[in-house]
Amino acid sequence: MSSDKLVPKQIIEVTVTGLGSTGEGVGKVNGFTIFAHGGLPGEIVKVKLDSVKKNYAMGRVIEILKSSADRCEPVCPVYEECGGCQLQHLRYEAQLKIKTQQVKDALTRIGHLKNVEILPTLRAIEPTFYRNKMQVPVATNEGQLEIGCFAASTHRVVNVDNCFIQKDKNNKIIGVVRDWMKKYRIPAYNEDKGTGIIRHVMGRVGVHTGDVMVVLVTATYDIPHAKELTKMLRENIPGLKSFIQNINKRHTNVIMGLKDRVIFGKSTIRDTLGSLKFNISAQSFFQVNSEQAEKLYNKAVEFASITGKETVFDIYCGTGTISLFLAKHAKAVYGIEIVPPAITDARRNAEDNHCNNATFILGDAAKKLPELLEQGIKPDVVLLDPPRAGCEERVLSSIVHVKPKRIVYVSCNPSTLARDLAYLSSHGYNVPIVQPVDMFPQTAHVECVALLEKK
């Protein structure tokens, strides 16, 4: 079957053979690829097509003719509408197996890597109510206030009262802000017209300290009835330590603006990972699943095989979380990051943890690596933890030039991980082992730690 014979709104029968990168079922009809939202491997489904492209078509399951034994009933009442989770209809044990296979497929098909041991995905002890950070859009739809998540592939906000992957205190923040907006008639921001006030609500919870931060992202400098909201939050959110206004006047889909203003309490909250303490600001990066982050970082330390004599470069170090884990075992750690507030947080975190062998450098890694070499500082181990887009080739080229004995690559995207591992593999490194970690249960995302060794 070719795309010429398929049209939108057509209903076809599909046998699902796998899952795509965003959790949709994948199958073929006469060799033509069909992405079936809501389908699971092993199922035979009827799919109503939404769009037809040259090489594939996309649609939504409207009837299940043969159901998978791994299918389960989603716990969230708005799961079908909401785009926040993609796998609640799949048993958790099956989610773990799917994620392991997703990593294997990426390394084979994209990276063309052979003889790599892919370990079973490390499971989460608690696969629900795990996120310590929430950021939800605010909108008005036909006169109704909506605070929740975007529907999949749209900018339509689905109202959420109790998100099943958020910490309970984050859910309570949504309720308080909703009550305040209704009581005082505070308008939501309208991104089409550029009118209104409230754009997003963010919550951050210190899992081990109980500290809570609330961030209100606004399109204006003034917040009407801000004192009343502060009072409502203090009365209803246990552990509230920080209430921040973030001002974003730009016509953009970027959530946070550049300016923060403290309305109540401090500019940061505190949390711990293992024995380390961290200050978390409104805009700083901190892993959203604290429990799984410890497993991830401990695995990174294990792969680094540090004995206490090594110098480690942590590239894309963020606020220094992995750097400080590594510093406990290494001779010296140099963290490199291009985001100024992250470096400020990293230096403060090092000071608070009495860590004297970690140095944090602001700048572009591709430029800073040669500068460190010129100073006579050469790494035995390089750790990489880039954003979803992976590493820029010039950064990888700089690392290859440095020739560390080992590279530990932490990734939140198997596709870009496979691409970058292929580059490093072709430039003198073996990839013996990869450990997937389920940082984001109920979603299609999977984190990985990969070890590379100099050939």
State how far Cα 91 lies from the chain centre: 21
Tell me whether residue 163 is one of the annotated catalytic residues.
no
What is the residue whose two structure tokens read 């010129």? 374
| Rounded Cα–Cα distance for residues 276 and 116 (Å) | 33
Q: How far is CA 204 from CA 16, 87, 209, in A?
A: 38, 24, 12
| Rounded Cα–Cα distance for residues 311 and 444 (Å) | 35
| Rounded Cα–Cα distance for residues 140 and 69 (Å) | 40
Buried residues in 11-46 as b, exposed as e (16+ CB within 10 A): ebebbbebbbbebbbbbebeebebbbbbbbbbbbbb
Neighbouring CB atoms inside 10 A of 261's CB total 15
Name the active-site residue from 82, 163, 412, 448. Answer: 412
Backbone angles phi, psi at 306, to 5 degrees: -85, 135
Q: How far is CA 326 from CA 143, 301, 315, in A?
A: 52, 6, 13
Neighbouring CB atoms inside 10 A of 434's CB total 27
* Whole-angstrom Cα Rg for the chain: 23
Cα angle vertex 421, ends 419, 422, to 5°?
65
Catalytic residue numbers, as ranges? 412
